[in-house]
A and B are shown apart, each in its own frame.
Chain A
Amino acid sequence: MTKLIVLLIGLIIIAFILWWFFGKHDVTSTEAAVTAERQSVDITVSGGYSPEQVVLKQGVPAVLNFTRKDASTCLDRVVFSDFGINQELPKNQLEAIEIDTSKPGEYDWACGMDMFHGKVIIK
């Protein structure tokens, strides 16, 4: 009887894992706050990126302010492969990264190990 309950619990956990990680979930997206000549977005790095998707206006100089709150070495660098940016993110320190917004498009960023991803949309 105990074993049957354990089996049931095990299967329920598996089902939960499948739903939680592979099910459809909303991605947090933020539009940049645009002042006259600049736009900027604050991104918190903790177990991934918040927000994970950033929308920027084309042609306005943009800055993404990353702050890493997470101790994981997985997240200690942020890489924008399209822009050749590989920036170290010391813990609890704001790192401003300038983004070239001259060309519209979608540009991915990732952590140093390519495990966590985020996206900049320039339009």
Chain B
Amino acid sequence: MSVTKRFWLSLVLSLPMLANMILMPFGWILPGGNWTQLALTTIIMLASAGPFAQSAWASFKKHHSNMDTLVAIGTMTAYLYSIYAMTTHQPVFFESAAFVTAFVLLGQVFEERMRNNASDAVEKLANLQAKDAEVLRAGQFVKLPLSEVVLNDVIRVKPGGKVPVDGVIVKGSSSVDESMVTGESMPVSKQVDDNVIGATMNGTGTFLLKVNKVGDQTMLSQIVDLVKKAQNSHAPIQKLTDKVSDIFVPVVLILAILTFLTWYIFLDASVARALIFAVSVVVIACPCALGLATPTALMVGTGRGAKMGILIKNGEVLEAVNDVKTVVFDKTGTITVGKPQVTDIVGDEAQVLQIAASLEVSSEHPLAAAILTRAKTAQITAKAVDNFQAIEGKGVSAIIDGKTGFVGNNKLLTDFKFDNVLVQQEIKLQNEAKTVVFVGLDDRIIGMIAVQDVPKATSSEAIANLKARGLKTVMLTGDNQRVAQAVAAQVGIDEVIADVLPGDKAEQVQAFQKNGKVAFVGDGINDAPALTIADVGIAMGSGTDIAIDAGGIVLVKNDLRDVDKALALSRKTFNRIKLNLFWAFIYNVLGIPVAAGVFFAIGFTLSPELAGFAMAFSSLSVVTSSMLLNKAKISSKVRAVEV
């Protein structure tokens, strides 16, 4: 019989006894009196409470005990004593056994439902997966189940369709809604060579993608796997409850016996009264609330994180976040975009870009890529050049439209004329720690292009949020001091450590650990040691797989502002765990003495029925409190962020 059926049975059969209890003072007595009560309670004991006894006995044989042990002993004691009392014509309390059973089962019905709700975040994620895909086979697109898709297949994605697997666009373009995987609410525009993620939703365009990940390698599968592990991981704080739950039930049983002995022998209470106190003690103690406190909160907290694109890998990370004092950032790719960009053009923009782009078109220099990207957005096409030459250690030159154009570094200044106006501008650019490329035509410099690895648009807001939280922010970089300082000033970071060799990042993190726990945010392979050594490693989702493996938190959306959100969510979740544990302990610490009749002198006691209600309520309140984490506001100190 299911828990729900057992509950309804016990409730329906308890009602006549409830009526009897309430209406007795008014002269109404249950027809059949004690015999009817005995019959009703016997059915409840066999059908509804029977499984408690079975489970209690099965675990007793294995030297174990659990909540069922307490419920079974409590109800059996009340039931058997009442039968004895009936035969000796003393007052009975069958209703206690019946009501306790009904309340405990009511608690379990709700709890089961809520626990299933708490764990469905993963199922929702896994259900995002598309079922089939239009795959190019023998020159035609055919609909195939996802399991038959292999690496390097070409798949067509139609407007409004689901992207079936991870891949790279080979033809077409579109905008894709990635919110279900990354939490990013704005659609992202995608062109040829852009990566798309399986399970995201295509917008209005049609495109072909080449599959580069299938099966459990896809991003969605990996996220599902991570979240599953996180939801079922243990937080260190749980060790306490593990220890308590091992000894909890036997200790409660001993307390109940002591309660009975004290009342009956030392305080001269009647057997019935002493038994009622003992039964109340057994019934109110609830190890479930203790056991549920941590796992339910972890499950809801990490599940909510996954929806926001923040993957928290386990309970240990969650707990460590609570004491973080310093947040250390890697610069390139984390605070900055990671690719140099053209920030300023001095001189006639079109002309300067035209010459620079024409000369750099075949260069593989990283600065050349920045210039070509800028030329492309400005819709300037490179012109054909003749007589291409390298100017040793200075730059390159070539003939464009019959004139000599050149591009290079500041060593060109010795060979060519340089206007005073330009000199002023150059000093300004240098002070901003930008790399300056000089562009010339014939015998004079006509302009400059400043290139810099610029901070991400969201970096300064992200840093401000963290500082508002009272955290110290530090930037580590292999760049020189001047460049590093310039970036730090732009985003408002507290401390800069420049000229750090890739292998020394971990050591720097260790140095900060002397003053408290450290979170490290990074994305590269060279960040992996620092991510591992830091108390909390936060990896950017765009980062290398190694960094993602090493991090304890992964920011899928790649937005630095999520560092603050991740810290806020972790703290919220951990605080909720502490609150749950507090309530679970308080229930027992306060409930047991009250049930034992310690406050009898001031007229404050707990009947077994009320104890049963309190017990059911304690596990329910813990699960409810965890579920409320889904509604809790995750806000930064600077401004409320709607999630």
Min C-beta distance of A6 to chain B, whole Å: 6
In the bound complex, CA of A75 to CA of B111 (Å): 13
Sorting the interface of chain A by its residue count into under 10, 10 to 19, 20 to 34 or 35 or more gives 35 or more
- Checking B58, B232, B257 against A48 with a beta-carbon cut-off of 8 angstroms, the contacting residue is B58
Which residue in chain A gives the minimum CB-CB distance to B234? A81
Q: Is the CB of B261 within 8 A of A6?
A: yes
Q: Which 3 A-B pairs have the closest CB atoms?
A: A47-B58, A47-B59, A71-B51
B287 within 8 A of A: yes
Q: Is the CB of A84 within 8 A of B257?
A: no
In the bound complex, CA of A83 to CA of B233 (Å): 9
Q: Is the CB of A70 within 8 A of B250?
A: no
Which residue in chain B gives the minimum CB-CB distance to A13? B257
A107 within 8 A of B: no
Chain A contacts for B62, CB-based, 8 A: 47-48, 50, 52
Q: Knowing A10-B261, A18-B250, A86-B228, say if A114 contacts B58 (CB, 8 Å).
A: no
- CB within 8 Å of A: which of B282-332? 287-288, 291-292, 294-295
Chain B contacts for A21, CB-based, 8 A: 63-65, 247, 249-250
* Apart from A79-B295, A84-B231, 14 more pairs, CB < 8 Å: A6-B265, A10-B257, A20-B60, A21-B250, A23-B63, A47-B64, A48-B64, A72-B66, A72-B68, A73-B112, A84-B232, A85-B232, A114-B295, A115-B245
Q: Is the CB of A86 within 8 A of B232?
A: yes
Chain B contacts for A6, CB-based, 8 A: 261, 264-265
- Checking A14, A86, A112, A114 against B254 with a beta-carbon cut-off of 8 angstroms, the contacting residue is A14
Chain A contacts for B264, CB-based, 8 A: 3, 6
Min C-beta distance of B178 to chain A, whole Å: 24
B225 within 8 A of A: yes
B61 within 8 A of A: yes
**Interface residues, chain A, CB within 8 Å of chain B?**
3, 6-7, 10, 13-14, 17-18, 20-23, 25, 46-48, 50, 52, 69-76, 79-81, 83-86, 112-116
**Interface residues, chain B, CB within 8 Å of chain A?**
1, 3, 51-52, 54-68, 108, 111-112, 115, 119, 225, 228-234, 238, 241-242, 245, 247, 249-250, 253-254, 257-258, 260-261, 264-265, 287-288, 291-292, 294-295
Which residue in chain B gives the minimum CB-CB distance to A77? B115
Chain A contacts for B295, CB-based, 8 A: 79, 112-114
- Checking B225, B232, B288 against A80 with a beta-carbon cut-off of 8 angstroms, the contacting residue is B232
Chain A contacts for B287, CB-based, 8 A: 113, 115
In the bound complex, CA of A22 to CA of B1 (Å): 33
Q: Is the CB of B242 within 8 A of A86?
A: no
Which residue in chain B gives the minimum CB-CB distance to A76? B112
5 contacting pairs across A/B (C-beta < 8 A): A7-B261, A48-B58, A72-B66, A83-B229, A114-B245
Q: Is the CB of B66 within 8 A of A73?
A: no
Min C-beta distance of B401 to chain A, whole Å: 65
Q: Is the CB of A73 within 8 A of B229?
A: no
Min C-beta distance of A11 to chain B, whole Å: 8
Q: Is the CB of A10 within 8 A of B260?
A: yes
In the bound complex, CA of A36 to CA of B241 (Å): 42
Q: Knowing A7-B265, A74-B66, say if A114 contacts B232 (CB, 8 Å).
A: no
Min C-beta distance of A110 to chain B, whole Å: 9
In the bound complex, CA of A18 to CA of B254 (Å): 9
Which residue in chain A gives the minimum CB-CB distance to B105? A73
In the bound complex, CA of A112 to CA of B258 (Å): 31
Q: Is the CB of B54 within 8 A of A71?
A: yes
Q: Is the CB of A86 within 8 A of B66?
A: no
Min C-beta distance of A74 to chain B, whole Å: 5
Chain B contacts for A115, CB-based, 8 A: 66-67, 245, 287-288, 291
Which residue in chain A gives the minimum CB-CB distance to B289? A113
Q: Is the CB of A86 within 8 A of B119?
A: yes
Q: Is the CB of B58 within 8 A of A70?
A: yes
